[in-house]
Structure formats: structure tokens, C-alpha cells
Amino acid sequence: SSIHAEGRLARAAIERARASVAALAGVAPGAVVFTSGGSEAIAAAIRGTCERAPGRRRRILVSRIEHSAVLEGARLMARLGWAVEEVGCGPDGRVAAEAFAERMNEDVALAALQWANNETGVIQPVEEVSRLCREAGAVFLVDAVQAAGKLPLAPRPFEPDLLAVSGHKIGGPQGTGALAVRDGLALAPLIPGGAQERRRRGGTEAVAAIAGFGEAAEAVLRDLEREASRLARLRQRLEDGLRGMFAGVRIHGEAAPRLPNTVNFSIPDVEGETLVVALDLLGFALSTGSACASGAVRPSHVLSAMGLTEADSRRAVRVSLGWSTDDEDVERLLEAVGPAVERARAAARSAVH
């Protein structure tokens, strides 16, 4: 923010990163507001929209499978007097645009739908819901945190009013994110008190982290198509291998279009947490649900919305493939799953007896 040479160099680094993140998000550089992560970007979008919404618009629509940042942000507004409706999904994990259409009217201030689900990888009908919002005059928020770097976000045949992305999801530093704000949209700042980010987010920018975010955005854009194809091939090999090893394996969301890097599966008679622990001891980092739910004992809200029972949800395991994952990693995981499952089933039998 300073006019001396060092300040100008820092400003130049931020603006280079802004241009790179804008290219990733498919927006003009001036639309990008840097934040501390995807969760802050979403909080800024929800709170900022509601504070500036016309008085007649007091409803918020969100899908039931959104990231907790969206769901909890909407529920906070409900406690402040807003009417919040959660839209369900089908057994394939995909929200129907018609479900949004049934609830859309001139009372809706904000509608939120993720581009792709963070637990199943299922891609959502953001284009159709964007059209519904535009026709009703509602602000449309797209959580693209999971999709960025896995799918091309631009060019696209629609334009969301607000779009959130995160640095660490594409290999950048943790603690970085961005909210893309449509030109002309009035948004109250979540963090007031400074002229930074064109008065849209107060506080001194984290220059080094933002620069790293920009470098990561450039890197994923350079190789997006080839990397997506490679990850899809690895995902297919993993899923085929699991089906060949275990009867009754379920790949959650496989009937819908999905991200190329996400596999959410369950094996009969094997608790997901037990399997994750067993594989952790062998050097594999898997999870039983979304990262923000780690340590929680309740079942995944996403799988529950898809109609899975609590017992079925507890069997689910998520594998995320990334730029550092190769064929050998997938083969080693398949080799390790068999013994890990046997140990997990043996432990379950011992606990029963």
C-alpha cells in the first residue's frame, strides 16, 4: 500500500497474481478480491450480499450438499431473520435445476450452488441455476473451490455473480483464496476498515501467499486438459481395481458427471474410519468425508442427502488424486487395500464376539 519502491514491488506481485487467478476463474482481474481462503470468500459473498439486498428480498436458497462454509453461513443468516431453504439432490448426488426453479421467485436475494461437490466430485448444474437466478433477479454464488484446476472454468456460457476459489486446492499456499465479484454488484465488505482490495476486504494483503496462489493458478492452467485426462485414467483404474477385488463395492455418485480426481467408495462390512486408519499406517492419506468434517462422529451430510443410511455413510472412504499421484501410487494402494480390509473385518468380528 506504500508508494516507495518496495511498496510498488509488492503491489506489482499482487497484481500479477490477480491476473493469474482471474484467468483461472474466467473473470477480469478487477473482479478478484483476495481472501484468506475459500471459506472467507463464501462468508463474504453471503454476508455481503444480504447486507446490500433490497428489503423485499429476504430468502436464501442453497443446496443441501454444499460445503459447510455455505450451509453454516446461510444458517447464520437464518438466525438473523432470513428465510433459508435447502434444496435436496438425487441418489446420484446431483441437484436438479428444477428443484431450484420450484423455489425461485422475486423474494430470493441469494442462491448458492457448488460447481462440483467436495466429497463425491459430482458436477452440478450451475449453468441452469445461473439462468434461473438471472431471470428472477437473484444473486448467484458458485463455490468453485473443488472444481478450479480440475475443470476449465472458462470460457463458459453463463456468468455467476460471485465465484469462490481457494489457493491450496490447486497446489498454492494454505490461507489463500479469492472471491470474484461481478462488475456492478454492490457487496458489503466482510472485513471493513481499509482501502485494500478496492475497499472490498480490509487488511494488509499476504503478499507472499498471494504470489504463490498466482503461480499455482498459472501452473494448473498450463496443463489443465492433459492433467484432467491423466487423473481420470487413474481414477478409472482405481475404481476398476476395487470392483475386481470386492463384491458389492459402491462408487458414490458414479451415475453423474464427476471431477476426474475424486473417488468416494464403500466396501460392505468395513467401517470407513477403520479402513482409513489401517491405510494410514501403510502410508496412504485418505479420508472418510470432507476435510472440514474430520474428527466429527456424525455421518456425511452429502451422503445422507443422497439417501444413504447412517450405516452406509460410515462405510464411505474418499480418495483424492492430485498432480503428485502416479500409476505406481494407485497400484500400491490397490495392493494395500486387500490386507487392510481383511484386518478391518477381522477386527469387527472380534469386537462382536
Q: Which three cell numbers stand for residue 165?
A: 476459489
Grid cell 497446489 is found at 171
Q: Which phi-psi region, left, alpha or beta, contains residue 137 (left: φ > 0; alpha: ψ -120 to 50)?
A: left
CB 265 within 8 A of CB 239: yes
Instruction: Give the C-alpha separation, 77 to 75, whole Å.
Output: 5
50 as an active site residue: the answer is no
Query: Could you give the 3-state DSSP secondary structure of residue 164?
Result: strand
Instruction: Give the C-alpha separation, 63 to 71, whole Å.
Output: 8
Q: Which residues contact 265 (CB under 8 A, 6 or more apart)?
A: 239, 242, 249, 250, 251, 252, 316, 317, 319
Which of 50, 89, 133, 292 is an active site residue? 292
CB 140 within 8 A of CB 111: yes
CB 110 within 8 A of CB 49: yes
What is the Cα 345 distance to its own chain's centre?
Answer: 32
Instruction: Give the C-alpha separation, 100 to 115, whole Å.
Output: 15
Instruction: Give the C-alpha separation, 163 to 151, whole Å.
Output: 14
Percent of the chain as helix, strand, coil, to the nearest 5: 45, 15, 40
Name the amino acid, one letter, at 162: L
Give the residue ranges of DSSP H helices in 68-110. 68-79, 97-103
Query: Could you give the 3-state DSSP secondary structure of residue 195?
Result: coil
Active site residues: 292
